[in-house]
Structure 1
Amino acid sequence: MQIKGAIALVTGANGDIGQYFVKALCDAGATKVYACARKPSDLTSLVAVNPEQIIPIALDITNSDSVETVAQACQDVNLLINNAGVGLLKGFISAADLSSARAEIEVNYLGTLAMCRAFAPILQANGGGAIVNMLSILGKINFPMNASYSASKAAAVSLTQGLRMELKSQNTLVVGVLPGTVDTPGSQHFPPPKVSPEDVVREALQGVIDGVNEVYPGEQAKQMAAQLLQDPQSLENAMSAMVNR
């Protein structure tokens, strides 16, 4: 699939990665980009970058009515980018309660699923198109300091695999993007290496163009993905050591 001429929808467009998706899509020649956020007022400066291409949309992916309203309004979409997500840096046992785990599952898994269910028939009607799910390498190896987030991303990894199988017959490409630590304000206390949000977006969109199933942006993600294939126990031990010092 080519980005030039695409009509894209980006969830979490006001976020540290989402805004780069919107700008990169415009730069690559997308005809229209629906930029979605819970509060459209958070998108004012982003829309000002290219008001003719960027259309702000109010969307809460955890609210079924909101998802349905947006799907009805955006029937021309052929590229869905599920970027909205939340990470609350909680462990399984050390967390005070289950509220963080529930919030992460609601957004990272169920919200993403809701968007895919709403837009799959739209993509089919528009020739198949593509879905890009922003995942994390932590969906394949749990990080105890961000344990429930990792679990929610593991669910989203499985979702992405299942969607790929289920939507193959309608010619919809499903790309999973699994970066390591992204260099955003929220990761300022994490050690390097980090990947820039620009590089995450660049590799994700190239994955769409190349028609690949999974993309691992950045040095850290590529190394961890290789280690998971070669010696997954040593990677688990390394993760455990970080929390059991």
Structure 2
Amino acid sequence: MKIQDAVVFVTGANRGLGLAFAQEALKQGARKVYAGVRNPDGREIPGIVQIKVDVTNSASVKAAAEQCEDTTLLVNNAGIARLTDDVLGPEMIEGSREIFETNYYGTIYVSQAFAPVLARNGGGAIINVLSDATWFARPVLAAYSASKSAAWSFTNALRLAVRDQNTRVLGLHVSFIDTDMTKALDIKKINPRDVAQAAFAGIENGHDEVLVDDFTNKLKQSLSTQEPLYFNPPEVA
């Protein structure tokens, strides 16, 4: 499908990568962009309509889907991350529950609500924002990594489930992005606009998966080898 003339719904779109998706969609000629946000702030950005949605609440998600029934491209971007001091510590359990509510169950809620909308509009596409953490579980991001691995598995199942309704599902894998989520980390970061552009190019070129950066590509390529990178990564953040 083409981004031009698409009606795009982006979750977690108040800032960071979500806002970059919304802005890039407009730049590429989207007819309308819905910015799904937990707490609308009243900002008026030409071409972008803020929609109140809490991806962890099924009723909120259903209401957003009913309000945005002309959507043809869904971007499941909403996500949270928490640093883990000790993967064997008690905070690992509660932290994992919190993260899974948004990153995994939230993706399911939104996909379930919007897939019928896309079908009624002829098919369309879904972009699920994943991570290099899908395959490389840094100890400080152990819970986040587990949620992204689960979301990857769901993405692969969803792709097959909606294929007959002419809906394409793209899994977007990327390393650290320059957003508020990573501002405290002194590491190389990717511009969120570049990530959005790569994802939209993948949709337009009919790809099922997009690996944005060099490290993510090397990591994925190593999975079938005797010594995948996650055994002995170059550095553990």
TM range (shorter): over 0.9
Counterpart of 2:32 in structure 1 is 32
C-alpha separation in 2, matches of 1:220 and 1:233: 12
Counterpart of 1:116 in structure 2 is 111
- Deviation digits for residues 104-160 of structure 1 (CA, Å, limit 9, x no counterpart): 110000010000001111111111100000011111222211001000000000010
Letter in 2 for 1:28: Q
TM-score by length of 2: 0.93
Distance verdict in 2 for CA 1:153–1:8, change over 3 Å:
same
Counterpart of 2:65 in structure 1 is 71
* Deviating 4+ runs (over 3 angstroms): 188-193, 229-234
Q: CA deviation at 1:65?
A: 1.1
Q: CA deviation at 1:234?
A: 4.2
Query: Alignment partner of 2:190: what SS?
Result: coil
Q: CA deviation at 1:191?
A: 5.0
Counterpart of 1:212 in structure 2 is 207
Number of matched residues? 236
Q: Report the aligned-residue RMSD.
A: 1.8
Instruction: Decide whether the 8 Å contact of 1:83 with 1:134 is kept in 2.
Output: yes
Instruction: Decide whether the 8 Å contact of 1:80 with 1:131 is kept in 2.
Output: yes
Alignment pair present for 1:194 and 2:189: yes
TM-score by length of 1: 0.90
Instruction: Decide whether the 8 Å contact of 1:13 with 1:22 is kept in 2.
Output: yes
C-alpha separation in 1, matches of 2:180 and 2:35: 21
Counterpart of 1:84 in structure 2 is 78
Distance verdict in 2 for CA 1:193–1:220, change over 3 Å:
farther
Instruction: Decide whether the 8 Å contact of 1:193 with 1:219 is kept in 2.
Output: no
Provide structure 2 residue ranges, at least 5 long, that are not aligned to the other structure. none
Counterpart of 2:168 in structure 1 is 173
Q: Percent identity between the aligned chains?
A: 37
Provide structure 1 residue ranges, at least 5 long, that are not aligned to the other structure. none
- Deviation digits for residues 208-242 of structure 1 (CA, Å, limit 9, x no counterpart): 10110111112222222222243544432227x73
Counterpart of 1:21 in structure 2 is 21
Counterpart of 1:159 in structure 2 is 154
